[in-house]
């Protein structure tokens, strides 16, 4: 198994745990659980609760798309396809810092997240995914140059 496949498999395992949390324990404060958002626990109306449940399950479904596509790429993808999949993962994960991270940092500063400082932990975790894929790509490319 090459370095690109190893990186994708690590991501698949970690994101599978996050999908399980979202589907079965959405109010959790670990992994991708949305229990860190105080508003999740204080939804008053049935409409808000259903909307929150819809969004949580939608996110889990999107994560499953990534997981299954990466699984197919690891199982039957050619070497160039695996390399471009890693490039796509780097670019798609990086969008977190463009749109989502500023929002969660603001919510954290407003006291809307428990535990306080969670936005930093999440930023480091997602940064770790970026680092994982970037290092795997660099190692792969350096191996091609040798």
Residue ranges per structural domain of the chain: 3-25+36-145
pTM over 0.75: yes
Note whether 88 and 61 are within 8 A (CB).
no
Residue 112: pLDDT over 90? yes
Q: Is the dihedral of CA 138, 9, 5, 73 positive or negative?
A: negative
pLDDT tens track for 59-76 = 999 999 999 999 999 999
Confidence of residue 132 (pLDDT cuts 50, 70, 90): very high
The Cα–Cα gap between 46 and 43 comes to 8
3-state percent breakdown (helix, strand, coil) of the chain, nearest 5: 80, 0, 15
Residue 43: pLDDT over 80? no
């Amino acid at each position: 198994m090459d370095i690109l496949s190893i990186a994708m498999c690590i991501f698949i395992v970690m994101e599978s745990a996050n999908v399980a949390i979202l589907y079965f324990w959405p109010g959790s404060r670990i992994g991708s659980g949305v229990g860190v958002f105080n508003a999740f626990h204080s939804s008053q109306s049935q409409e808000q609760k259903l909307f929150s449940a819809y969004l949580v399950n939608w996110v889990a479904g999107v994560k499953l798309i990534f997981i299954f596509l990466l699984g197919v790429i690891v199982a039957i993808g050619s070497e160039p396809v695996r390399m471009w999949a890693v490039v796509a993962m780097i670019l798609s994960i990086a969008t977190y810092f463009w749109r989502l991270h500023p929002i969660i940092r603001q919510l954290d500063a407003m006291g809307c997240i428990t535990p306080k400082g969670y936005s930093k932990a999440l930023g480091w975790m997602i940064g770790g995914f970026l680092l994982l894929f970037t290092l795997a790509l660099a190692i792969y490319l350096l191996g091609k140059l040798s």
